[in-house]
Structure 1
Amino acid sequence: MIWMSWRQFRAQAIAGVLVLGALAAYLVITGLDIRAAREGYTAQCQATGDCAAAMLRLVGDYRTRLLLLAGVLGLVPVLIGMFWGAPLIARELEEGTHRLAWNQSVTRRRWLAVRLGTVILAAMLLAAAAGTLLSWAASPVDAIAGDRFGTVNFGARALSPIGQAAFATVLGAVTGLFLRRTLPAMAGTGLLVLVVLFVMPNAIRPHLMPARHETRPMTVEAIDAAHGLGTLGSAPVLKGIEIPGVWVTSVSELLTADGRPLDPKIFDDCLMRAPKTGATGTFGDSSVCLAARDLHLDIAYQPNERFWTFQCLETALYLLLTALVGALALWRIRHTSR
C-alpha cells in the first residue's frame, strides 16, 4: 500500500525536489554573499570605529531580498495544498479509480490514512528543508535587524513552515473529498490556505502567550519617532510605534494622565491648528502641542526571546488542526458513495 501510494505521488514529489533544489542553490548563494558582505563591512568598520552603522547598512542591503524570499516561501504551503493535497482524493473520485482501490482487501480508512501520511510526510520534509535554508541564509541579517516576529519572516522560518505544510496538505485532501472535482478543489484549497495564513499571524499568534505591557510617556521625541499621526477619522492614535527587540502587538489610543482617551477635538486641533513653536521634528508643532498635554500610550508586546516558544506553539496548533481535519477525512470517507 505504501509502495503504491509512492508510485502515484512520485511525479509530484520529483517536481517538488527539483524546485527545492533550485531554491536551495539560490539560498546558499545568497547566504554566502551575505556572509562575505558582513566580513567586508566588519573590516571597514574596524578601521573607522563605527560598526553599528556598518551593520545597519548590511541589513539595508539585503532586507528587501530576504523579505521577498520569505514571501515566496510563504506561498509554499498554498502550492502544496493545491498541487499535492487537493488532487490526492479528488482525482481518484473524478476519474473513478477509487472503485478499484475500495474493492480490494484494504479498507477505505487505511487507504486514505496511508495516502495522506505519505504526502504529509513529504510536504513536511520539503517545508523543513526550505525553512532551514532560509533561516541559515538570513541569520546574519536577522541577528542585527531583530525583526524575528515580522509577519512574513516568522511564518517562513524555523518550525512554522512544517506545520503549515502538513495542514495545507490535509486541508487540500479534505476539500477534494467534499468537492470531488480536481480543479474546484485546487481553487478552494488555495483560497482556504491563504485565509488561514492571514488569520494565524493577525488574529491568533498575538494571543498564544500573554503579552507584556508597558506605559510609554509621549514626549516630543517619542511622538516624532512614530510613523504617523491619526487616521482618516482623526482618531487620537500614533501609527508604527516600535520598541527595539520586541514585537509590538497592540497600542492604545493616546491617553490622558487619568487614563482616558484623548478628546478627538483636541487631537485634531494639535494636528491642524497647533501653536507655532518652530519645532523641526517629524511632526513639527503638532508633536509639541500633544506632548504638552501629558499623554501616554499603553503598549502590549512580546519580547524576541519568546521566538522559539511561539514557533513551537504555532507549529503544535497547525499539527493539531491537521489531526482534526484528518479525522474529519477519515469520518467522511466512510460516508462517501462509490
Structure 2
Amino acid sequence: MTALDAAPTAARRRLAPRGLTWSVLRLHRTALYVGGAALVAFAAAMVWMYVIGDTARASTGPCITPAPCFEMTASTFDDTTYRRIVSRTAEALSYLMFPVAAWAGGALIGRELESGTARLAWTQSVTPLRWLAAKLAVPALLLTAGTTTAVLLNVWARQDGGPDLALDWYSTDTFITTGPTAVTYALAGLALGALAGLVTKRALPAAGLGFAAALAFFNLMDWYRWHLWPTSSGTASGPDGYQLPQTALHMSSGYVLTSGERREGALLCTNLPSPGCLKEGDVAARYTDFHPQSHHWPLQLMDAGIALALAALATVVAFWLLRRSTPSRG
C-alpha cells in the first residue's frame, strides 16, 4: 500500500467513533436501529399530516347555508386521518420516557452489572465513572437530537393547532409534545432508569423500577402542572358570569362578595335557602380563574425545568452510588 492509499484510510479511522463511545453504540445498536426507524416513521406521519392539513381544516370550517353546512361538517377521510395521526403520534411521543426508563435500567445499566460486563470493562483501563459517563452521554445526545426533531416536526405538521383537529393545547399529550417538555421527559427517563440499574444491579428489577419511577413522575406532573404558573382571572356581574376564551383552560370559579372575599363553588340562595348558601345581596360579581393559551410557554418552561432538574439529580445520585460501591477504582 502506498502513502497516498494509506492517508484516506487513516483519515477515516480518525473520524470513526472509538473507545467507549463506539462500544456503547455497538452494544446497543438494536435500540439505535429501533429508535431510528421510529423517528423515520414519525417523520413520515408528520409529512402526511401536513399534506392533508388544509383539506382536513376545510372540512371543519364554518357553514354559510344549511346544505353546504351538512357537507362540510360530515366526517371525511382527511380530517378523520388527521385526528387519528395527531392522537397516536402525540401519545407515542409523550410516553417516550417510559420505554427509555425501562431500557436504561434493564439493558443499559442493569444487564451489564448483573452479567459482569461492566466489571470486565473496568479492568481494561476504563474507570467506573468514565464508563457511566459514556453510558449516559451517548444515549442522552441521541435522545435529545431525536426527540427535538420529532417535536419540531410535530409543531410544523400541526400548523395553527386548531382544537377541532389538533386537540386542545392543554390536553396532556398535546402539551408535552409541543415544546421542550418532551425532550426533558426523555432525559429524565434515561436518568431514572440508570439510577434504578445501579440500585438493583439486575436487569429485570431495574427495568421495572425505572418504569415505575417514570410513571410516578409523569402522574405527579400531570396533576400539578397547572399550578406551576399563576392563573388569569376574570369577573362579571351578569347572571352568566365571565365568558372564557374558547381556548382557555378553566381552573376554578365562584363568587366575589361585597366584602371582597372570594367563595369558590358556593351557591346562591333561592326561595328555599339552605345552610351555607350566599344571599344575592352579598354577591358583587362572579369570577373565573383560568389559563389562557398564552400561558403555554411559561408552563412549558416550568415543566421542562423540573424534569431537567430531576434528570440532573438522578444522574448525580447515580454517580455517587457508583463511586461509593467502587471506592478503589474511582
Q: TM-score, normalised by structure 2?
A: 0.75
> Is structure 2 residue 299 aligned with structure 1 residue 317?
no
Contact 1:166-1:319 within 8 A present in 2 as well: yes
- Structure 1 runs (4+) deviating above 6 angstroms are 44-48, 54-60, 143-146, 262-265, 267-271, 289-293
Given that residues 129 and 322 in structure 2 are in contact (C-alpha distance below 8 angstroms), is that contact kept between their aligned partners in structure 1? Answer: yes
**Corresponding residue for residue 15 of structure 2:** none
What is aligned with 2:6? none
Offset of 1:255 from its aligned partner? 5.6
AA partner of residue 21 (structure 1) = V
Larger deviation, residues 252-261 vs 313-322: 252-261
Point out the structure with max Rg over C-alpha.
2
The correspondence of residues 237-276 of structure 1 with structure 2, limited to 5 A, is 242-248=244-250, 250-253=251-254, 257-258=258-259, 259=261, 261=263, 266=269
In structure 2, stretches of 5+ residues that fail to align are 1-19
Tell me how far 1:83 sits from its aligned partner: 2.0
Percentage identity across aligned positions?
Answer: 26
Q: Deviations over 1:266-289 (max 9, x none)?
A: 589699xxxxxxxxxxxxxxxxx9
Verify the 8 A CA contact 1:74 1:156 in the aligned structure 2.
yes
Q: Does 1:11 align with 2:30?
A: yes
User: Do 2:234 and 2:287's aligned partners in 1 also have CA atoms closer than 8 Å?
Assistant: yes
In structure 1, the partner of 2:215 is: 194
Q: 1:267 to 1:13 in 2, by over 3 A?
A: farther
Matched with 1:231 is none
User: Which residue, 118, 134, 154 being the options, matches 2:154?
Assistant: 134
The 1:299–1:120 alpha-carbon spacing in structure 2 relative to 1, beyond 3 Å, is same
Are positions 1:28 and 2:34 aligned together? no
CA distance in 2, matches of 1:166, 1:156: 14
Aligned equivalents of 1:191 and 1:269: distance in 2? 52
Q: Provide the TM-score with structure 1 as the length reference.
A: 0.73
Q: Which amino acid aligns with 2:248?
A: V
Please say if 1:215 is aligned against 2:216. Answer: no
Deviation (angstroms), 1:167: 0.8
Determine the C-alpha separation between the residues in 2 that align with 1:267 and 1:103: 81
Q: C-alpha displacement at 1:109, in angstroms?
A: 0.9
Aligned to 2:184: 163
1:36-72 deviations in Å (ceiling 9; x for gaps) = 3335667x96999x99xx7999998555652343223
Distance in structure 2 (CA, Å) of the matches to 1:38 and 1:147: 15
One-letter code aligned to 1:28? V
- How far apart are 1:75 and its partner, in Å? 1.3
> How far off its partner does 1:122 sit?
1.5
| Equivalent residue number for residue 123 of structure 2 | 103
How many residue pairs end up in the alignment?
Answer: 298
CA–CA separation in structure 1 for the residues paired with 2:305 and 2:287:
31
